[in-house]
Amino acid sequence: GVGNAVFRQGTEGQCIRVAPYYRWNLGEWLVGRYALYMGMRYDRDYYDVGTRLDVLWKNYRYLQVGGTLMPYYDSFLKGLVGYQAYIQSFLLKEIGVFAGAKNLPDFRNVERRCMGGLVFAAGILCIRPEVSVPMNGGTHLSRVSLFFVYRSP
């Protein structure tokens, strides 16, 4: 996959990240994805490299449990580890809700946040709008993120 940050700043302050991944199934109920990634700002001010492991236990449509572990290296911040844990439920066949906690970096640094949102999953496309708020008083910013996942058939 390829990710690009979109902020209210010029192109030189944005970053791009490339992440080839391998998706696997362990039986019917456990799905995982392993990725290696590399990213940098367009002005080459910094770079980061890392790995990411995502796991989703989906034994029941009404209750699924997921998690992520993401150790990475940032050229300025050095070595960091991000994580997330969440539960999700599909009340309708293609529409679900999720809630959890994370410290995955939205931009560069880890930050403890509560998150929640919706999941729209139809065939090979999954869209996941998310709202996250900080768990501590270090920052006062709530974020709205939108994730698109295209699954190969």
- Report pLDDT digits (tens) over 52-105: 999 999 887 789 999 999 999 999 899 999 999 999 999 888 999 999 999 988
CA distances from 133 to 113, 125, 137 (A): 5, 26, 10
Q: To which residue do tokens 């700043």 refer? A: 9
Handedness of CA 14, 77, 99, 136 (dihedral sign): negative
Rounded Cα distance between 125 and 86, Å, is 20
Strands 47-57 and 30-41: antiparallel
Rounded Cα distance between 38 and 73, Å, is 10
- Once rounded to an integer, what is the mean pLDDT over residues 25-29? 87
